[in-house]
Amino acid sequence: MKALEKAIIFTARAIVFVDLISVLMYGTSDQVTAAVAGLVAVFVPTLVRKLYPHPHRKVWPWVSPFYNDGVYTLFAIFMAAHVTFLNVPFVHLDLYNKIWGRADVPSHYLGGLVTWVIFNEVVLESSRTYNLGWSRRKITTISLSALVFVGLFWEVFEVLMQPLMPWLRETVDNKIQDVVMEVLGFLTGIMLVYAFKYPYSMTEPMENIPEFSGEGSVDLLPKPKKARK
């Protein structure tokens, strides 16, 4: 892990922890829930790496985002921003629900970016691991379709949960805006991955890939290879 990535992840953890302390002092139940979930989430990749240091090659595509330092960094930024929008530590400002009605704009943008890079890595590593030979265009199309599906599902879920969680009530225009911001996050992800090869490359193997377990049981699987252009 690069020094800058370590610094960003450490800072994000600190922000979420401070936010949790502040909401325990004066926050609402949904703010406390978000802060607790955020604090757990920013440690999950580290826990997975420690508890499962040698992933089985057959499941590698599905767990690969946990081992990617760049994905971890982007995810940490998203979580720190999201909990801060719900509660600015120690000043009792709920940007998301009370102060800034458009606070969900950057949240959905970052969410779309992070979700797409995760989905895309899973599809990319599946193509490599199982020797599917998918082109970059097909990989991107599959991951974008998954992103749009999850985004639409989340908006429907919010509508269904409104009777129990009134703060989820939004206009149709707002929901369209949310999906648009998620797509803009996807476009940023395309630029990062294709132009800057961050947090991974579509044509080169992942850096610092862990040693796989169960080699004897995966001999029949072809060797991983690069995605076609």
Q: Name the H helices within 64-103.
A: 69-86
Q: Is the pLDDT of residue 219 over 70?
A: no
Any residues with CB less than 8 A from the CB of 149 and at least 6 apart, and which? none
Rounded Cα distance, 174 and 126, in Å: 35
Whose tokens are 């225009």? That residue is 173
- The CA–CA distances, whole Å, from 177 to 41, 77, 106, 173, 196 equal 26, 21, 11, 6, 27
Q: How confident is the model at residue 216 (pLDDT cuts 50, 70, 90)?
A: very low
For residue 122, the tally of other CB atoms under 10 A from its CB is 20
| 164-185: average pLDDT | 76
Rounded Cα distance, 84 and 34, in Å: 10
pLDDT of residue 218: 41
**225 or 21, greater pLDDT:** 21
pLDDT of residue 229: 55
pLDDT of residue 180: 87
Query: With pLDDT > 70 as the criterion, what percentage of the chain qualifies?
Result: 83
Q: Is the pLDDT of residue 227 over 60?
A: no
pLDDT of residue 100: 61
Least confident range of 7-11, 60-64, 223-227: 223-227
Q: Is the pLDDT of residue 210 over 60?
A: yes
Q: Which tens digits make up the pLDDT trace of 10-69?
A: 999 999 998 888 888 877 777 788 889 999 999 999 999 999 999 999 999 999 999 999
- Tell me which DSSP letter residue 169 carries: -
3-state secondary structure of 41: helix
The whole-model pTM stands at 0.85
pLDDT of residue 35: 87
Q: Which tens digits make up the pLDDT trace of 132-167?
A: 999 999 999 999 999 989 988 877 877 777 677 665
**Domain residue ranges in the chain:** 1-100, 102-203+225-229
Q: If residue 137 lies in a helix (H) or strand (E), which one and from where to where? A: helix 136-161
Q: Is the pLDDT of residue 70 over 80?
A: yes
Which residues face 56 on adjacent strands?
213
Q: How confident is the model at residue 103 (pLDDT cuts 50, 70, 90)?
A: low
